[in-house]
Amino acid sequence: MSAALETPAARPFMAAQGAAVLVILAIACLLVPAYASAWTIEAILLPFLAFSLAGLGLNLLTGYAGQVSLGSAAFMAVGAYAAYNFQLRLDLPLPLTFLFAALTAAAVGVIFGLPSLRLKGFYLAVSTLAAQFFIQWLFNKFGWFSNYSPSGVISAPVLGFAGITFDTRESRYLLALSVVVVITFLVHRFVNGPARINLIAVRDNETAARVIGVPVLRTKLTAFALSSAIIGIAGVLWSFTYLRTIEPEGFNLDRSFQILFIAIIGGLATVRGAFLGAGLIVVFPLLLSRGSAWILDGGLDAGTVQLTQRIILGATIIIFLILEPNGLSAILDRITARTRSLFAKITRGRA
Amino acid sequence: MTGLALTEPALLPERRAVAPQTVSAATRSQVQPVQGTRLRLEGISLAFGGIRALKDVSFDIREGEIRAVIGPNGAGKSSLVNVISGLYRADRGVITHGGESFAHVPPARLPGLGVARTFQNLALFPGLTVAQNIASGLVFRRKRGLFAQLLSLPKARAETRETEARIREIAGFLGLSEHLPRLVSTLPYGLQKQVELARALIAGPRLLLLDEPMAGLTGAEKTAMAAHIRAVRDRLGLSVILIEHDIGVVMGLSDRIVVLDHGEVIADGSPDEVRRDPEVIRAYLGQDAAGATSGAEAA
Amino acid sequence: MDWFEFLFAVEVAVGGLLSGVMYALVAIGFVLIYKTSGVLNFAQGAMVLFAALTFVSLVEREVPFALALVVTLVIMGLLGLAIERTVLRPLANRSPMTLFMATLGLAWVIEGGAQLIWGTQVHALDLGISNAPFEIGGIYISNFDLVAAAIALALVIVLTSFFRFTRTGLSFRAVADDTFAAIAIGLRLNRIQAAVWTAAGVVALVAGLLWGARLGVQFSLSLVVLKALPVLVLGGFDSIAGAIVAGLLIGASEKLAEVYIGPFVGGGIEGWFAYVVALAVLLIRPQGLFGHKITERF
């Protein structure tokens, strides 16, 4: 896309941003597998990648297309169970497993997105809870989905493709990383391409969009399909690379809220917001439990830490909505701008 | 589909100016069974609950005509625009766009019928730039699917280039060129109104519905907007329905005026006829009738 | 269907209707706030939990029943005021969806706070209402459910007459109908908002006590919102009458479905059945059963 239709916010820092992304990617691909501790990968990076992808998927729907969903975790579950069953029953190669899991989640997403054609706002948000409860119930009640595992908890099989098995920690990490990178790139292109107009038009003023001929219904359903597909893949990463088990309880309403909070705290309608939000959601509880251990000598019991986390996270949401509705992404923007002007001052001073 | 001829790429303002007659004549012969009538309303009635917003409203708009609809607050002006653009469903009556008659026009079909509108309280998309807002008026015509766009296939790229050329042209015409990359929400109100006009014009409509285009504008901006409306009609040859509150503007600008009061047409004619109509003076100007009439005569 | 099966169906339906009243009770807390603030207050369930936990903990600490009730009432009022001050006022003039998301965060804060203060263990709550079923014409009705429904109805009547006949209530209605006009005629919006949040706190307390006596006072009490939401959607967010009718409808259909459809699909459908009913109705009537028809201005 050339100049006239681009989003201005994306342009001034384009070069710097591109460079920053490359540096982060280089670190993530080369340094992390070689030097990161087992704990860093298992407890931080793997959940971070899955959460980022889920946040990205929801952001497409809520941030860009303006349709609030409270059922994200259900679509993660659909992706995870679909991948498990495609592997188990059809023995599909890995890329096809991902693709089919995404397509299954997209199809389910479209079905539960249908109410959005008639309902708006709160009514829609509430109706997405139907997906949350129905899908969780479905996987709980019907043993077929979990291959009649007596406990209901499946251990996810090791993924493999073209002679590579993703059994080590590092290989699982690299698999998750590459999936996230590819999808993020596609989403970035999608939301900065012509589709941006359709999405934002529907979000900002549905009536005007309809009158000028933006295909409102198609835009909404596309958003539901793509968002659910991406969240479904996030579910695959969550179950196969991070937890390596699958159970319906892992995809409950709290998980859905977590994903929504990632999108809000990170910054709605931004791609990097999902990553910033996911980083916060993953790192913050670790900091809190370590910090309390350090300050209170011996630390609080696990239950108290968990409740405190809940309170602080809930308060963080409120504070962000009040003080910085554009989320961490906007804060990062300000920091970048300030650093730049500082840097410019220093170089000018030297010259 | 009768709307087909209307969705031909709209001629650009400059080129259109050369031969507006021939073009509209061609269009007419293809899709107009009724010679020279762009829109016809017959017996439109609409009620909300017990309140009758429109009672048996009938009038027509000719090709290339600026047609004002005036009336005091609550006369049903906005309801009328919303019925024409399909946002409200009339309880009774027929709307004929070009050659096609409807009991209710599906809003999504409006661009295909060559109808574009603006809104009383701006209906722009604050999250988009000026250029993107204008481009949204062309979305309905986009042929390349989203995935072709995503992969940046050559045809999709050509389509984008074409769109951009059109945006520059229309922006130049309305004095918006320098603002194209800005977020529309950062523009002053008057310019936002222009952006909305640009968005309505970019697809080259045959009928433009302007719902209070002057509302909230300063004196100078009103003059500019009036000039734009006239230029649009003169150079593009399209028909304009002008819903207005400001009588002064309407008198100078329109060819014919419909006056609504309590949802009924109480007068219909040239500005001169309407200005002299005692019914209009009573309904529209109320107690101050005498003074305001002399004012209107003077203007 | 023979006579006994019929009686059984009636019994199920009556049980459903009675629990429907309890759903309606929670839903009314939402309606009160929605009507004045335009917010779907997701934290209503957390308030129910907070109220019940506070009350039961006071009683367990040997505070007399009546005093505990008064103290909890005061605390709920203060909580409502605090929410109005710290969350709603700074977010005034923001989109309803933003406010909704803020109440999601608020729900986490209140849930976490309630359990941090009073602990996470399950408390039994005995309101002194007998739970023995009694028989009318061959059907058994739970005494507790009947009393609970009666209390809920009484509360609804009190609230309705408050809003219909008192000065404060009337000004509340004025705000609900037209915020700008209400400001223009000099109604003090903040005070009214505070009053409404307090009222919502009272409703939460009553709901918390009744539900708490039924299910035990524990975290899952905050999940009664999930039961109330379909009721709300079905009845229309702004209608108290709608909440009651929808509550009855959903309570009865849910119980009947659980008994007659449940066995064929493995049971446990009450978690989502209400949503399906609500969605089905909404697809036909998007404004709900009693909500105002949405007429947008353009």
Instruction: For residue B175, report the phi and psi dihedrals to the nearest 5 degrees.
Output: 70, 35
Task: Using the CB atoms, write b or e for A24-46: b if 16+ within 10 Å.
Answer: eeeebeeebbeebeeeebbbbbb
pLDDT of residue B284: 66
* C294 touches B at CB < 8 Å: no
Give residues 197 to 226 of A whose Cβ lies within 8 Å of B. 197-198, 200-201, 203-205, 207-216, 222
pLDDT of residue B208: 93
User: Cα separation of C4 and C1, whole Å?
Assistant: 8
Q: A194: which 2 tokens?
A: 């012509």
Contacts of B105 in chain A (CB under 8 A): none
Instruction: For residue C68, report the phi and psi dihedrals to the nearest 5 degrees.
Output: -60, -40
pLDDT of residue A299: 60
**CA distance, residue A19 to nearest chain B CA (Å):** 23
Which subunits have 3 or more CB–CB pairs within 8 Å of chain A?
Answer: B, C
User: Cα separation of B32 and B39, whole Å?
Assistant: 10
Report DSSP state, residue A246.
E
Report DSSP state, residue A47.
H
Q: Average pLDDT over chain B, rounded to whole? A: 79
Contacts of B177 in chain A (CB under 8 A): none
Three-class DSSP category at C227 = helix
Q: Do A4 and B131 touch (CB under 8 A)?
A: yes
pLDDT of residue C109: 94
- Nearest residue of A to residue B84, measured between CA atoms: A211
Q: What is the mean pLDDT of each run of 10 residues along chain A (351 residues)?
A: 52 64 80 78 89 95 91 94 89 88 94 84 84 88 81 76 77 90 91 89 91 90 94 94 86 91 90 92 85 71 83 91 88 86 80 59
Q: What is the pLDDT of residues B76-128, one digit of tens each?
A: 888 899 999 888 888 999 999 888 888 888 888 888 899 999 998 889 999 99
Q: Answer for the pair B20, B233: CB distance below 8 angstroms, yes or no.
A: no
From B16, C214, C292, C274, select the one nearest A130 (Cα to Cα). C274
From B182, B143, B184, B181, select the one nearest B162 (Cα to Cα). B143
| In the block, residue with structure tokens 């009718």 | C245
* A311 touches C at CB < 8 Å: yes
Q: What is the pLDDT of residues C184-215, one digit of tens each?
A: 555 566 677 777 777 888 888 888 888 888 87
Q: Which long-range contacts (CB under 8 A, 24 or more apart) does A35-41 make?
A: A38/A169, A41/A169, A41/A170, A41/A173
- For the segment B162-187, the average pLDDT, to the nearest whole number, is 90
**C211 membership: H or E segment, kind and range:** helix C189-215
- Residue among A193, A205, A212 whose CB faces B149 most closely: A193
pLDDT of residue B296: 44
Contacts of B123 in chain A (CB under 8 A): 205, 207-208, 211
pLDDT of residue A203: 92
User: Cα separation of A180 and A192, whole Å?
Assistant: 18
Q: Which residue has the higher pLDDT, B69 or A36?
A: B69
Picking from A122, A280, A320 by the largest number of C CB atoms within 10 A of its own CB, the best residue to mutate is A122
**Within 13 A of C131's CA, how many CA atoms are on the CB side?**
7
Q: B104: which 2 tokens?
A: 């209710």
Q: Print the SS3 string covering A87-129.
A: HHHHCCCHHHHHHHHHHHHHHHHHHHHHHHHCCCHHHHHHHHH
User: Cα separation of C274 and C279, whole Å?
Assistant: 9
Percent with pLDDT over 90 in chain C: 5
Radius of gyration in angstroms for the set of CA atoms belonging to chain B, rounded to a whole number: 20
Q: What is the pLDDT of residues B3-38, one digit of tens each?
A: 333 333 343 333 333 333 333 333 333 433 445 888
Report DSSP state, residue C123.
B
- Nearest residue of A to residue C91, measured between CA atoms: A322
Task: Count the neighbouring beta carbons within 10 Å of the beta carbon of residue B291.
Answer: 10
Q: What is the pLDDT of residues C110-165, one digit of tens each?
A: 999 988 888 888 888 877 777 777 777 777 777 888 888 888 888 878 877 777 77
- Nearest residue of A to residue C100, measured between CA atoms: A122
**B115 membership: H or E segment, kind and range:** strand B115-117
**Within 13 A of C169's CA, how many CA atoms are on the CB side?**
9
pLDDT of residue C106: 93
Instruction: For residue C127, report the phi and psi dihedrals to the nearest 5 degrees.
Output: -90, 0
User: Cα separation of C47 and C71, whole Å?
Assistant: 15
Q: Answer for the pair B48, C295: CB distance below 8 angstroms, yes or no.
A: yes
Domains in chain C: ranges and CATH: 3-284 (1.10.3470)
Task: Count the neighbouring beta carbons within 10 Å of the beta carbon of residue B246.
Answer: 16
Domains in chain B: ranges and CATH: 37-114+205-299 (3.40.50.300)
Q: Do A5 and B164 touch (CB under 8 A)?
A: yes
Q: How many helices (H) and strands (E) does chain C have?
A: 12, 2
- Residue among C102, C116, C271 whose CB faces A321 most closely: C102
Three-class DSSP category at B142 = coil
- Residue among A130, A141, A321 whose CB faces C98 most closely: A321
Contacts of A314 in chain C (CB under 8 A): 104-109, 112
From B12, B107, B22, B98, select the one nearest B62 (Cα to Cα). B98
Domains in chain A: ranges and CATH: 45-350 (1.10.3470)
pLDDT of residue C186: 56
Q: How many helices (H) and strands (E) does chain B have?
A: 12, 10
